[in-house]
Amino acid sequence: MTTSHLGRLAMAAIIAAMILVPVIQTSEESLNLVSLILIWALFAIGFDLIFGMAGMLSFGHAALFGSGGYALTLLVTKAGVGFVPALGAAGMVGAVMAFGLSIFALRVSGLFFSLLTLALAQLVYILASTKLRSHTGGLDGIPGVPRPELFGIDFYDNRNYYYFLIVVFIVGIAVMALLRASPFGKALQAVQANDVRAAQIGYNVQRLRQCAFMISGFYAGVSGALLASLMFYISPQMLHWTTSGDVLIMTVLGGKGTLLGPILGVAVFEVLKEKLSQYTQHWYGILGLIFILCTIFLPNGIAGLFARKAAGRPGDAP
């Protein structure tokens, strides 16, 4: 039941490297890149709680991500709520949206679950771009999404905002690590491994799935809000189904079912995207190709290269 030492070492190295980035790397572009990685990594580890741990493939995470962004934007600019409470509220909105989705989507399983979450999320996308135009700015989006105002620090400076992101990220990682190692996390793994047996030994399978989905929604909402704030801008693009596709690709690329995997996947995805898009406009196609090759040759993702299986074959030392 323990994470491998190698995984923990890698995690510590990643966090240390991230803290050092603004010290070593001074360019605005690289700062922006690692900020994006932090935010998407938060989104991806939340996504993996249901995908890698509980075995549910949601195609509706864009709706949770985008709703968080809109929630923060509207709460701060229209309702005058402080940034940090609004960030928490964005997470809650993500969780509530996830609850709403789950009421319908958890009635079905497998492919139908994925399709239903996709359809419901597209509904949210269409609502935001048309019917709710007066609040969301329609397809034009809302410019001027604010940054935090705390301790008199200027978070409009990208370096300072980066440190704010690191703090949120580390809290997010720590909470997720605990969730995954807890009996709750083990129960999700049980549900994924064999849901009939899980119910038979007394787990309330549907309730576990619903809880996981809501926590995942909280992470999505918070990370969506952070992204809007990073870019000073939000548009329905965040709600678009491709956002759900991206987080899935990142998670599979890095290695689902591990804490480290999604973070690595996000980093590789974002760096490749950044580099490739400088040379060709077909970067998305090339990323797709890399993704396909990875699923063939690295079925456990990049993290699969690091991790060892916890349970051994007969004869292995315990």
The residue with tokens 């898009």 is 277
Q: Is 194 exposed, middle or buried (0-12, 13-18, 19+ CB in 10 A)?
A: exposed
- Residue 146 φ then ψ, to 5°: -80, 170
Structure-token match 């690295």, residue found: 298
b/e for 129-143, b at 16 or more Cβ within 10 A?
Answer: beeeeeebbbeebbe
C-alpha to C-alpha distance for 63 and 167, rounded to whole angstroms: 25
Does 5 bind another protein (CB under 8 A)? Our answer is: no
Residue keyed to tokens 């609850």:
99
111 versus 201: smaller Cβ distance to another protein: 201
Q: What is the dihedral of CA 271, 37, 251, 302, to 10 degrees?
A: 50
Sites for another protein among residues 206-265 (CB under 8 A): 208
Which residues, in sequence order, are CB contacts of 34 under 8 Å at separation 6+?
Answer: 18, 21, 25, 162
**Site size for another protein, by CB under 8 A?**
34
Task: Please identify, using beta-carbon distances, which residue of 109 and 200 lies nearer to another protein.
Answer: 200
Are the CB atoms for 46 and 259 separated by under 8 Å? no
Question: 């990875």: which residue's tokens?
Answer: 294
Residues β-bridged to residue 143: 233
User: Which of residues 16 and 201 has its CB atom nearest to another protein in the complex?
Assistant: 201
Query: Is 193 or 292 the residue whose CB approaches another protein more closely?
Result: 193
Q: Which is nearer to another protein, 185 or 236 (CB)?
A: 185
Smallest gap from residue 204 Cβ to another protein (A)? 5
- Tell the smallest beta-carbon distance from residue 307 to another protein (Å): 13
Residue with the two structure tokens 């309730």: 207
CB count, 10 Å around CB of 24? 8
Mark residues 283-312: x for contact with another protein by CB under 8 A, - for none: --------------------------xxxx
The CB-of-175 to another protein minimum distance in angstroms stands at 9
CB of 207 to another protein, least distance (A): 9
For residues 291 and 306, which CB has a smaller minimum distance to another protein in the complex?
A: 306
What's the distance, CA 78 to chain centroid?
A: 26
- The nearest distance, CB 298 to another protein, in angstroms, is 18
Residue 46 tokens read as: 């939340």
The answer to whether 262 and 44 have CB atoms below 8 angstroms apart is: yes
Q: Least distance in Å: CB of 216 to another protein? A: 14
Nearer to another protein, 115 or 199 (CB): 199
Cα angle 264, 268, 272 (rounded to 5 degrees) comes to 170
Q: Which is nearer to another protein, 182 or 295 (CB)?
A: 182
Distance of closest approach, residue 179 Cβ to another protein, in angstroms? 6
Min dist CB 33 to another protein, Å, is 33
Looking only at residues 148 through 207 of this chain, which bind another protein when binding is defined by CB under 8 A? 178-179, 181-187, 189-190, 193-194, 196-205
Provide, rounded to whole angstroms, the least separation between the CB of residue 311 and another protein. Answer: 4
Nearer residue to another protein within complex by CB, 130 or 182: 182
> Which secondary-structure segment (H or E) carries 233?
strand 233-234
Binding site for another protein (CB under 8 A): 1-2, 178-179, 181-187, 189-190, 193-194, 196-205, 208, 309-314, 316, 318
